[in-house]
């Protein structure tokens, strides 16, 4: 298989260019790819008016950058994100991404944190299978998980998310389009569009991949207000999205009370659990142990600050000090804990 790679540049800053893989141009030998190059590039640029093209090329699949995928069970693959905050070094590749290959189609569970990562995930999938891309499930609204979605839509995938996700993204899109390239660099983000899902769900939904099914379960506001879990039937693998963090400090962007309630009444155990960040675990109990301790300590410390009559400005450092013994287990502890303390304070202030 050959892949079409367009050199795309920012119209406003023509020196800022990046190679963009266009999935519509993928397939066949070099001649077939070259026959499509002009029209696919022109169509794609028409949909990305902030970019200009500077030529394209066709490369064999094995020469295109591809994410590293680890097979957890037959047909179930995961890309492990970097256990840290967004940075130029990790290019925004911090979330765990899942791929489930059924007998008839491939599902993607979170398409990555940038256009660039989505492209590298597409190339990695094509090294494994020629089956069509089917459901592309967004576990929640955060861009480190979903910014690669447009690549998968161009590849023919159907973007599926919780019904609350489009509003959540709309409220934050303009901020993210500025803040994220500043954190990860212009190149991986160049051409990234935060696309709306083609399909939203408001209740448990089962998707057939042929030979296995995925069950999507929306969750009441917890990590965010658009969380869902995904369970693969054949392998009994549970993908929790960011309802479970390991190693990277949990980010509270929904409801602490709701998150603790989900942890207190979790879904049934699975053969393995893929958290949103951090290593795959053998059980949900193992996966969630550190996070449960962290969020419980956060709740207790905020409650103590409120009981002591502290205002926000005194409570945040007090909570950070109370949680400090937990710091060695977590990356990006200080900055995230300070934000979590403020968020939990705002939520619990009126309890
Ligand atoms: Zn998240």
Compute the distance from residue 95 Cα to the ligand 1 centre, in Å. Answer: 8
The CATH code belonging to domain 70-285 is 3.60.15.10
Compute the distance from residue 41 Cα to the ligand 1 centre, in Å. Answer: 33
Nearest by Cα to 259 from 210, 298, 220: 220
Contacts for 234 with CB less than 8 Å, ≥ 6 apart: 73, 74, 75, 211, 212
Compute the distance from residue 4 Cα to the ligand 1 centre, in Å. Answer: 31
Compute the distance from residue 140 Cα to the ligand 1 centre, in Å. Answer: 7
Compute the distance from residue 343 Cα to the ligand 1 centre, in Å. Answer: 15
Question: pLDDT confidence of 28, banded at 50, 70, 90?
Answer: confident
pLDDT attached to residue 147: 98
Q: In Å, how far are 1, 91, 120, 301 from 64, measured between CA atoms?
A: 11, 17, 8, 49
Compute the distance from residue 144 Cα to the ligand 1 centre, in Å. Answer: 7
Compute the distance from residue 187 Cα to the ligand 1 centre, in Å. Answer: 22
Stretch among 29-33, 155-159, 340-344 having the lowest mean pLDDT: 29-33
Could you give phi then psi for residue 129, rounded to 5 degrees?
A: -160, 150
Tokens in use for 250? 């949990």
pLDDT attached to residue 350: 86
Spell out a b/e string for 176-193, using b for 16 or more CB atoms within 10 Å of the CB, else e: beeebbeebbebbbbbbb
Compute the distance from residue 43 Cα to the ligand 1 centre, in Å. Answer: 32
Compute the distance from residue 209 Cα to the ligand 1 centre, in Å. Answer: 26
pLDDT attached to residue 21: 98
Tokens in use for 259? 């998150």
Question: pLDDT confidence of 99, banded at 50, 70, 90?
Answer: very high
pLDDT attached to residue 109: 98
pLDDT at 188 over 90: yes
Q: For the chain, what is the mean pLDDT?
A: 97
Question: pLDDT confidence of 290, banded at 50, 70, 90?
Answer: very high
Compute the distance from residue 194 Cα to the ligand 1 centre, in Å. Answer: 15
Compute the distance from residue 145 Cα to the ligand 1 centre, in Å. Answer: 7
Compute the distance from residue 330 Cα to the ligand 1 centre, in Å. Answer: 16
Compute the distance from residue 28 Cα to the ligand 1 centre, in Å. Answer: 37
What is the distance between the alpha carbons of residues 166 and 169, in angstroms, rounded to a whole number? 5
Compute the distance from residue 21 Cα to the ligand 1 centre, in Å. Answer: 26
229 in Cβ contact with 243 (< 8 Å): yes
**What average pLDDT score do residues 280-303 get?**
98
pLDDT at 93 over 90: yes
Residue 351, classified by CB atoms within 10 Å of its CB into exposed (0-12), middle (13-18) or buried (19+), is exposed
Compute the distance from residue 11 Cα to the ligand 1 centre, in Å. Answer: 31
pLDDT attached to residue 67: 98
User: pLDDT by residue (tens digit) across 103-139?
Assistant: 999 999 999 999 999 999 999 999 999 999 999 999 9
Question: pLDDT confidence of 351, banded at 50, 70, 90?
Answer: confident
Compute the distance from residue 251 Cα to the ligand 1 centre, in Å. Answer: 7
Compute the distance from residue 3 Cα to the ligand 1 centre, in Å. Answer: 31
pLDDT attached to residue 278: 98
Question: pLDDT confidence of 325, banded at 50, 70, 90?
Answer: very high
The residue with tokens 């309802």 is 243
What is the distance between the alpha carbons of residues 88 and 289, in angstroms, rounded to a whole number? 30
pLDDT at 27 over 90: no
Compute the distance from residue 243 Cα to the ligand 1 centre, in Å. Answer: 8
Compute the distance from residue 241 Cα to the ligand 1 centre, in Å. Answer: 7
- Please give the share of the chain, as a percent, with pLDDT higher than 70: 100
């Amino acid at each position: 298989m050959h892949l079409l790679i367009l050199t795309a540049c920012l119209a406003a800053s023509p020196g800022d260019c990046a190679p963009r893989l266009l999935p519509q141009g993928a397939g066949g030998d070099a001649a077939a790819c070259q026959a499509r190059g002009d029209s696919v590039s022109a169509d794609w640029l028409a949909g990305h008016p902030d970019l200009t093209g500077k030529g394209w090329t066709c490369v064999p699949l094995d020469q295109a950058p591809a994410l590293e995928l680890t097979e957890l069970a037959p047909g179930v693959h995961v890309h492990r994100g970097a256990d840290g905050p967004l940075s130029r070094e990790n290019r925004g590749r911090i979330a765990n991404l899942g791929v489930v290959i059924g007998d008839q189609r491939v599902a993607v569970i979170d398409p990555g944190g940038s256009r660039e990562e989505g492209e590298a995930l597409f190339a990695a999938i094509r090294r494994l299978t020629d089956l069509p891309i089917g459901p592309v499930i967004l576990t929640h609204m955060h861009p480190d998980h979903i910014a690669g979605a447009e690549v998968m839509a161009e590849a023919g995938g159907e973007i599926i998310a919780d019904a609350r996700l489009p509003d959540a993204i709309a409220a934050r899109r303009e901020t993210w389009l500025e803040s994220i390239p500043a954190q990860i660099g212009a190149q991986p983000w160049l051409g990234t569009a935060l696309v709306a899902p083609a399909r939203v769900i408001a209740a448990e939904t089962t998707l057939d991949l042929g030979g296995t099914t995925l069950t999507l379960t929306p969750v009441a506001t917890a990590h965010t207000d658009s969380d869902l879990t995904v369970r693969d039937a054949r392998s009994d693998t549970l993908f929790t999205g960011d309802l479970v963090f390991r190693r990277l400090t949990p980010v509270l962007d929904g409801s602490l009370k709701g998150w603790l309630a989900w942890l207190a009444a979790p879904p049934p155990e699975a053969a393995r659990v893929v958290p949103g960040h951090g290593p795959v675990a053998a059980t949900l109990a193992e996966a969630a142990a550190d996070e449960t301790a962290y969020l419980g300590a956060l709740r207790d410390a905020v409650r103590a600050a409120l009981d002591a009559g502290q205002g926000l400005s005194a409570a945040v450092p007090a909570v950070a000090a109370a949680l400090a013994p937990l710091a060695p287990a977590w990356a990006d502890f200080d900055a995230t804990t300070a934000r979590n303390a403020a968020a939990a304070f705002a939520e619990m202030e009126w309890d």
